[in-house]
Amino acid sequence: MPGLVYILCAITSLGSAVLLLRGALSRGGGLLFWSSLCFFAMALNNVLLYMNFIVFPDVDLLLASRLATVLGIVLLNIGLIWHAT
């Protein structure tokens, strides 16, 4: 059951990222673009969690998962700072 939750979260994050990117490309970028990058990183995080706990339970991928999360947060912060200035 946890594997299903990770997959559904990854699909939701990826869908949100695609919709945000589509909006950014049609309206000229801005904060939508940076938000889409953040959601792509969150989708990567969910895929890595699925791989860590379900596919390869003996391999530790938590560091890579945490780095993907930090990357997403950093990208969103860059976009927020860039948009505010």
Please report which confidence band the pLDDT of residue 2 belongs to, taking 50, 70 and 90 as the band edges. Answer: confident
pLDDT of residue 46: 96
60 φ/ψ sector (left φ>0, alpha ψ -120 to 50, else beta): beta
pLDDT of residue 3: 87
- CB atoms under 10 Å from CB of 73, counted, come to 13
Share of the chain above pLDDT 70, in %: 100
Kindly list the distances between the CA atom of residue 44 and the CA atoms of 38, 51, 76, in Å, as whole numbers in the listed order.
Answer: 10, 10, 15
Q: What is the pLDDT of residue 21?
A: 96
C-alpha Rg value of the chain to the nearest Å: 14
Confidence of residue 84 (pLDDT cuts 50, 70, 90): confident
Q: For the residues 46-67, what does the mean pLDDT come to?
A: 94
pLDDT tens digits, 45-56: 999 999 999 999
Domain ranges of the chain: 2-84
